[in-house]
Amino acid sequence: MFERPKKQRRAYPVILWSALLVLALFGGCGKKPPAAVFPDTTPTTALLADSQLHQFATHLKAMPEDQRAAAVQQFLLEHPVSPITEGNRLAGILWYGKAQTVFINGDLQRAWTRPEPLDAIACGESTLFYCLRQAPPDARLDYLLNVDGQNTTDPRNPRVTPSGFGPHSEIIMPAFQPNPARRFRDDIAHGTLATLSFTNRIAPRLPRTLKVYEPAAYDGSTRLPTLYVYDGLEALDYMAYTNVLDNLIAEGKIRPVLVVFVSMLPEDGQLIPDKLTTLANIVCDEIVPVIDGDYPTLHDSSNRAIAGISIWGHLALMTALSHPEVFLLAAGQSSTVTDSLLKVLRQATGNAQARPPFRFYLDVGNYDLVAGGIDGLPFLQANQRLRAELEQCGVPCQFQAVNDGHQWANWRERTDALLRYFFPPATNPAAPSEAPGPPR
């Protein structure tokens, strides 16, 4: 049942980032996981030889301790912002003050699994803590510092990114370019976002908030394709979906599309891992029919997509594979990959002559989670295996691995990629796709 509340109120349920801790339930119980393939972050001798920070630290160590503080303060005046990027592959992190220990943890520390102590140089009453790590020229990565046991963003780094665990500091390597599609533009028309409250017949029987994006200046003369987004309220907050939609539609890079952002509830965690099909059934059997009845949408599954990140990427792919009559398009970003997902894929595509015309989109980080995928594989290798299975099963798939981690600030850079893949401009915009939808 849907209703439009008299007073719109944004509810922020406990987001299911704790689901990441449950992902081990999916992967290879009793099996020894293979060695994780992870980029080497240790700087080479050649990189260090050209590093001003490395040279400064070497020089500082050779100075009398009572002369170091002045040298550090001068260096910090010349380098006021962290990270200090040198060349196109080195990033240096600094912390200066009174502390016993400073650790760094983040995407470069084997996806947050191996905190590293910063090197310490005593400078009288204060200490300079520093480290140098290498990363690809186009990398964008998250990290936090831990100062005497307290996690904190880097006070010298103005770049802060969102995450399900709170704000993170950000490493931007020289060749990384933020996606301009995320920027808000005041020179174009903007779509509307309605808030709906939904109570399903299937357990869990709790109200669920939906947000529905409708393109700017839509006149109802043709029906719209649709995209459903799991963990939708977080996606709205962290992935700049409305900006990207407004920009791509205004620039003619995608067709106008209706987007339904589906909230997740704390109780949804009870469905992991064995009962996620309950959520898929709620969307397919209850939410989609009501949206199709209330909005002027295209009703064929080839014009209906579903997307999600992490465990909800797994659910998006499972939803399409188990309900091809509802969804033929599915996107997973840093998706959890399980035996059950591959089993459903093979079942759905086993009959080559009756194979549904699926189209999938996948992206994953080269610095993504190191465990939790199928057979204990890191997420990168698990998603590469999924891509190979899709190709073997004859399912077209756009796939990309990027120099980033398991972060909203990664996934938001590719919001436009999945939209452009699923909803390219119509070859003949004047030709109506279907009859106009029902009156609103």
DSSP string, 66-115: HHHHHHHHHHHHHS-SSSEEETTTEEEEEEEES-S-EEEEETTTTTTTS-
Pairing status of strand 150-152 against strand 168-172:
unpaired
Q: What pLDDT does 38 receive?
A: 81
Sign of CA dihedral 59, 60, 62, 67: positive
CATH for 2-18+180-422, among 3.40.50.1820, 1.10.760.10, 3.30.360.10, 3.40.50.2000? 3.40.50.1820
On whether the CB atoms of residues 238 and 162 are closer than 8 A, the answer is yes
Q: What pLDDT does 376 receive?
A: 86
On whether the CB atoms of residues 194 and 4 are closer than 8 A, the answer is yes
Residue 67 buriedness (CB in 10 A; 0-12 / 13-18 / 19+): exposed
What is the token pair recorded at 335?
A: 């998706």
H or E segment to which residue 367 belongs: strand 359-367
Q: What pLDDT does 57 receive?
A: 97
Helix, strand, or coil here: 194? strand
Nearest one of 121, 131, 109, 144 to 48, comparing CA atoms = 131
In sequence order, what are the beta bridge partners of 367? 405
The pLDDT profile of the chain, 440 residues, written as one tens digit per residue, is: 433 333 333 333 333 443 443 343 344 334 454 555 788 999 999 999 999 999 999 999 999 999 999 999 999 999 999 999 999 999 999 999 999 999 999 999 999 999 999 999 999 999 999 999 999 999 999 999 999 999 999 999 999 998 888 999 999 999 999 999 999 999 999 999 999 988 877 655 667 889 999 999 888 788 999 999 999 999 999 999 999 999 999 999 999 999 999 988 777 766 676 677 888 998 999 999 999 999 999 999 999 999 999 999 999 999 999 999 999 999 999 999 999 999 999 999 999 889 999 999 999 999 999 986 788 899 999 999 999 999 999 999 999 999 999 999 999 999 999 999 999 998 744 333 444 343 33
On whether the CB atoms of residues 133 and 390 are closer than 8 A, the answer is no
Q: How far is 79 from 74, CA to CA, in rounded Å?
A: 9
Question: CA end-to-end span of the chain, whole Å?
Answer: 17
pTM for this entry: 0.88
Q: What pLDDT does 366 receive?
A: 96
Helix, strand, or coil here: 314? helix
CB atoms inside a 10 Å sphere around CB 121: 19
In our burial notation (b when 16+ CB lie closer than 10 A, e otherwise), range 74-107 reads: ebeeebeebbbbbeebbbbbbbbeebeebbbbbb
What is the token pair recorded at 392?
A: 């073997």
In sequence order, what are the beta bridge partners of 130? 94, 119
CA dist 116 to 10, 97, 131, 174, 189, Å? 39, 18, 9, 24, 48
Phi (first) and psi of residue 419, to 5 degrees: -65, -45
Q: How far is 183 from 130, CA to CA, in rounded Å?
A: 34
The percent helix, strand, coil of the chain (3-state, each to 5) is 35, 25, 40
Q: What pLDDT does 395 receive?
A: 97
Q: What pLDDT does 35 receive?
A: 57
Q: How far is 436 from 219, CA to CA, in rounded Å?
A: 10
- What class does CATH assign to 40-134+139-172? mainly beta
On whether the CB atoms of residues 347 and 395 are closer than 8 A, the answer is no
Q: What residue segments make up the domains of the chain, in order of their start? A: 2-18+180-422, 40-134+139-172
